Amino acid sequence: WGDTRVVTMKFGFCGGLDAPDWILAEIGVISKLTVMQLRRLLTQVVKAICAEEVEVEVLGKVAQDAGFSSSDLKAAFAAVDFIVRSAARFTCPEDTLGAELQQLGLPVELVSTLAKMYGKELAKMQAVLQETSLKLPSLTDIEWRVDFLVAGSNMRSLGVPSVMLRMGVANGDTISCEMTAQKLTVLLAELKSARALMDR
């Protein structure tokens, strides 16, 4: 009997996950570009990532020279944007990005152009991405106390510790909540899991 296991490839520019199927499909479109056309497309992609004005006429010239339809151009732009933006997000090394794009079937000369420009613009893109990423208001203060009910009308609540939390947020809001010790334990475990994912 043959080995029927499915081999999956993980990619650094995707954060150690599989490359999305649509990216695999668009590699063929990107492969039709010349080195010069890809360089011009990449320049506009980097501008988009850095929140600078994209030169539509330059993209139009790329599409015209490459014989691309409007949908081909949009697909190529979206694919290159995803590759570069995702690689920057996960701090994928330039040589790793190049090797992985070759594994996906992108021609060597295009891989070299893309990887070099990515390496050159990486610090600038990361600075912008960090500045524009989703951020939640930070905590400025936290107070807590534990109440232990020894008398009351509800016998089931007697002897059960209750945790009171009051959190001050940087935007001036105050968040207050009350929970059992069991719920606090669950909350702490969830927060630790979330922090571990963020630190990966």
DSSP assignment string, 46-65: HHHHTTPPP-HHHHHHHHHH
> Which residues have a Cβ under 8 Å from the Cβ of 72 and sit 6 or more positions away?
29, 63, 66
% of residues, the chain, pLDDT over 90: 55
The three-class DSSP label of residue 73 is helix
pLDDT given for residue 198 in this prediction = 66
Look at residue 6 and give its three-state secondary structure.
Answer: coil
Per-residue pLDDT tens for 124-162? 999 998 887 656 667 778 887 877 666 555 545 556 677
Mean of the per-residue pLDDT values of the chain: 85
Alpha carbons 33 and 47: distance in angstroms, whole number: 19
Report residue 30's pLDDT band, with 50, 70 and 90 as the boundaries: very high
Encoding tokens for residue 58? 């330059």
Q: Which whole-number Å values give the CA distances from 142 to 77, 180, 195, in the listed order? A: 46, 18, 18
- Comparing 119 with 162, the larger pLDDT belongs to 119
% the chain with pLDDT above 70: 86
